[in-house]
Structure 1
């Protein structure tokens, strides 16, 4: 049974800045830079926008990661707030490339971001020679300043061209895709282990085309750190959520957790353990134009491997023996 702990206030502030930093970079920095064009500081904005347009291909060509950003001490405080950890079950050889399924999405994907976009849990020491990337919505990389911050942490566009580039240039690249996507976020609730996976087969086709190994992962505790208000499909709020997704690419989730004071309600996540278990890689042949039958075959093998990974570790990380992993 998972139990709450009481993090210190500094750890709480570090966790709070996680989503706030994205909001600031999205809503404040771009308008501010446009405003500066009409002031005596116009040259700073002009130089950045010139760089922005010259550098527009970088997110599709491996990005521009920063070891300095990935090693910020802020990430270790976020790690300790829950705490967050990563468990390796098998080595990953630097001689291959890997396409990794990240499950489940949760609300903010704390486990995936902390484990693969920072060095807080020691990814480079646990998997030497492997360079991790985590794919996210492509339009994020069209937003000034936000794109640079995301690339520095090792996030990449989920576009086909960006993933193709990483899987075809060198070896030792590990590209993580949150396969269930934003649809899973809307279903994220404590004690739920339902994944949107049955019809999502594009990542398997891509892996086959590059001969990349498939790596299943499951993050225990990801859906436990927030409660969410779920709306009926006929409600106005649900319709608003659907329209919001059509515009921005992700759902407007109404969620809550704890506040700064013990026992209070707020937007901080519950301080519960989050553990990402990285499974054994599934070798795939390289087939330039795989048939649907071949894609279905390896998709079924992947689901079976993910199911076994969950069953092997569920009781150790807070799930009951009777808990089932369900695929939609």
Structure 2
């Protein structure tokens, strides 16, 4: 097959910098910064690590968001690459707090990042008075420098303490939780809509305890931007993926998209396919300090029903076939 050559190199570079920036901080910037301890500039890293020790509670207390970082122009280039958009179906009142279910996880969660960790798609204008927080693995906040970088975008720890803090300090807070977690990454295959949700009920219990409303969302196109190589459960590669997850908290996925120089060739860049996050109508919950399992099950079922209806309403409009069904595991 011949390879066409019509890429936007600047846009490609900017897209790559997002995931690669974390690797650069971890493998290059962080070692160089620690290396300063053995130079005349040793006071700089020393002061940072002292401050790090004193600042350890911040990821569990709302983080440290930066409007400047969230408004960087580079995020608009990432938005336009696919493109990524957000669709509001109902207003969210600033007088309430919310837990938002983010579905599906996908491989790199482009939609959730762009919509809730940046202002590229205009979240603050779309939902005035609402402060979004996207929850992620707690161990990220134990890594020097990276913790500060992700907190600046409004990312918080997915720990119970972190979510409890946000839902009990003021109103207008929205905590986005990728309910399917990293396990759902292995379900990220084009033309499939499978969510790990049936037994994931902790977010409903937390919402009831705080009287926070539940907001279902579905990001169409999230699983379409990469092809993934899936391995049989008895294979050595699948066993390696499982061990990798136990150690690092996420799967080592083998995936590919398009090339940097030639769009028709295989590479690490995602495909240019639209990603649309549809934010559904909030499900109103009562505040129940100690909800029974029966109450949790009731509202969990109502949430799954609302999410299913949201998917059915918009699936054809945003690229799914009329016969495609949302599956829950």
- TM-score with structure 1 setting the length: 0.97
Of residues 122-131 and 14-23 in structure 1, the stretch that sits farther from structure 2 once superposed is 14-23
- Give the equivalent residue in structure 2 for 1:215: 215
- Give the equivalent residue in structure 2 for 1:153: 153
- How far apart in 1 are the matches of 2:57 and 2:144? 13
- Give the equivalent residue in structure 1 for 2:263: 262
- 1:28, distance to aligned residue in structure 2 (A): 2.4
Once the two structures are superposed, the pairs formed by residues 29-40 of structure 1 within 5 Å of their partners are 29-40=29-40
- Give the equivalent residue in structure 2 for 1:271: 272
- Give the equivalent residue in structure 2 for 1:199: 199
- Whether the 8 Å CA contact 1:133–1:176 is kept in 2: the answer is yes
- 1:40, distance to aligned residue in structure 2 (A): 1.5
Q: 1:232 to 1:80 in 2, by over 3 A?
A: same
- Give the equivalent residue in structure 1 for 2:56: 56
- 1:9, distance to aligned residue in structure 2 (A): 1.2
- 1:197, distance to aligned residue in structure 2 (A): 0.2
- Give the equivalent residue in structure 2 for 1:75: 75
- How far apart in 2 are the matches of 1:76 and 1:158? 26
- Whether the 8 Å CA contact 1:115–1:121 is kept in 2: the answer is yes
Once the two structures are superposed, the pairs formed by residues 177-188 of structure 1 within 5 Å of their partners are 177-188=177-188
- Give the equivalent residue in structure 2 for 1:294: 295
Instruction: Report how many residues are paired.
Output: 324
- How far apart in 1 are the matches of 2:32 and 2:210? 42
Q: Deviations over 1:194-220 (max 9, x none)?
A: 000000000000000000000000000
SS state at 1:288 partner = coil
1:109 lines up with 2:109 in the alignment: yes
Long gaps (5+) in structure 1: none
- Whether the 8 Å CA contact 2:76–2:120 is kept in 1: the answer is yes
SS state at 1:107 partner = coil
- Whether the 8 Å CA contact 2:7–2:263 is kept in 1: the answer is no
- How far apart in 1 are the matches of 2:6 and 2:184? 28
- How far apart in 1 are the matches of 2:6 and 2:320? 22
SS state at 2:17 partner = helix
- 1:6, distance to aligned residue in structure 2 (A): 5.8
SS state at 2:45 partner = helix
- Whether the 8 Å CA contact 2:100–2:214 is kept in 1: the answer is yes
Q: Which runs of 4+ in 1 moved over 4 A?
A: none
- How far apart in 2 are the matches of 1:313 and 1:23? 36
- How far apart in 2 are the matches of 1:225 and 1:210? 36
- How far apart in 1 are the matches of 2:205 and 2:28? 39
Of residues 10-19 and 198-207 in structure 1, the stretch that sits farther from structure 2 once superposed is 10-19
- 1:22, distance to aligned residue in structure 2 (A): 1.1
- Whether the 8 Å CA contact 1:7–1:271 is kept in 2: the answer is no
Q: Deviations over 1:265-309 (max 9, x none)?
A: 110000100000000000100001000000000000000000000
Q: Deviations over 1:14-60 (max 9, x none)?
A: 11011101111222233222211011221111111111111111000
